[in-house]
Amino acid sequence: MVSPGELRLVETLIEKETFEPEIAENGSVSYSEAAQLLDDADGAPAAVLERFAARGVLASEFVAKVYVCPECTAEGLQYTTVCPACESAHALETLFLEHVCGYAGPETEFEAENGYRCPDCEMDLESVDIEKQEHYVCNDCSETFDIPDERLWCRECLSTFPPLDAIEHVLYQYSLTPDGKRWLDRQKDARRTAAETLQERRFETEIDATVSDDAASRSVHVLAEDDLMGERRVVSIHETPDTESVDAFCAFATSVGAHPVVITTSGAVSKDVAARSEDADLTLLAFEDGTLEPEYEIVESVEAAQQGLFQRLTAALEVPGRKGQ
């Protein structure tokens, strides 16, 4: 099913060029503009956008990569270093001095009232007598080392782990493809035709309406009401209806006292949905050539029917070559 929120999202890209990821200072990623268009039931904006990109409705362009914690999946990891012996992060870069007598230690051991003094041979030191180097010292286990181990630190669960253990997420920006525009036009045409058909039957109609029952609210593609006759219709637009989404829609229609109307824009339905439509509590129609018909193709695979729709939309705009070309 293409939900009203998802159709809203794709339609916005006619005027807006792209949906771009927003990365906050703490590293969290969002698609806030997309989120404002979707309904709660549609799921995470990134997942919705990626699903449409996989279908060819949207094009995705690489923007960046972010990494999330493998323990709690929080974003915004902090780089740190740890002691290779005990893995404590309390390992700090420290200036070491080495005297010509052979003694070496942290600078603080050499500090004297008027300069440096070797704590081993107790000689006051000139700069030519000492060599300076940077080393790391662990303040927990006292280990001294030159190169610390790299870690990422999660600010949510406080876990630390090697960088390669972090989960990588690739971020994209999304735009509408030419095929996606044709797909969108077909869904909108089916929705408009459904509304006009119900208006002809003296229903008051509303496109992209919110309908509520005692438990929840849900957006529907078309709400049609005849107050005089006490009748109500809710319309759901699908490419190729599947049993799970149709059953859920029918249950919701029953909860709001409405008759469910399901429209397939691919002209095909699965066997189970075709059998379901034999019941009086569901109207199943196919959208083709600007009209709604009670005839449709029954297919084994929903995915194959959806792919077939895209192929037909693309082929419809291909220009045949001239003879001899």
- pTM across the whole model: 0.70
Name the residue with higher pLDDT: 269 or 193.
193
* Structural domain boundaries enclosing 127: 79-153
Closest CA to 1 of 264, 290, 317, 312: 264
- The residue whose two tokens read 């409705």 is 57
Alpha-carbon distance of 302 to 270, in angstroms, equals: 7
The tokens of 6 are what? 């998802």
Is residue 11 exposed (0-12), middle (13-18) or buried (19+ Cβ within 10 Å)? Answer: middle
The overall average pLDDT reported for the chain is: 86
Q: Are residues 145 and 290 in the same domain?
A: no
Alpha-carbon distance of 136 to 158, in angstroms, equals: 23
Is pLDDT of 174 > 70?
yes
Pure H helices in 27-171: 32-37, 45-55, 107-110
Name the residue with higher pLDDT: 280 or 119.
119
Q: What's the sign of the alpha-carbon dihedral 73, 78, 82, 88?
A: negative
φ and ψ of 187, to 5 deg: -65, -45
Q: Are residues 168 and 285 in the same domain?
A: no
pLDDT digits (tens, 9 = 90+) for 2-41: 899 999 999 999 999 999 998 877 677 899 999 999 998 8
Alpha-carbon distance of 69 to 157, in angstroms, equals: 9
Q: Are residues 187 and 38 in the same domain?
A: no
Please count the structural domains in the chain. 3
Domain of residue 255, CATH code: 3.40.1350.10
Percent of the chain with pLDDT over 70: 90
Q: Are residues 168 and 185 in the same domain?
A: no
Q: Are residues 184 and 289 in the same domain?
A: yes
325 within domain boundaries:
no
Average pLDDT of span 145-158:
91
Alpha-carbon distance of 187 to 232, in angstroms, equals: 22
186 within domain boundaries:
yes
Q: What is the pLDDT of residue 54?
A: 93
Q: Are residues 118 and 198 in the same domain?
A: no
159 within domain boundaries:
no
Average pLDDT of span 168-179:
93
158 within domain boundaries:
no
pLDDT tier at 74, thresholds 50, 70, 90: confident
* Terminal CA-CA length for the chain: 42
pLDDT tier at 319, thresholds 50, 70, 90: very low
Tell which of 125, 144, 176 closes a domain: 176
Say if CB 262 and CB 249 are below 8 A apart. yes
Closest CA to 194 of 246, 252, 259, 250: 259
Q: Are residues 102 and 210 in the same domain?
A: no
Is pLDDT of 320 > 50?
no
pLDDT digits (tens, 9 = 90+) for 284-311: 999 998 999 998 888 876 555 555 545 5
pLDDT digits (tens, 9 = 90+) for 199-251: 999 999 999 999 987 777 889 999 999 988 899 999 999 988 888 999 999 99
Q: Are residues 170 and 21 in the same domain?
A: yes
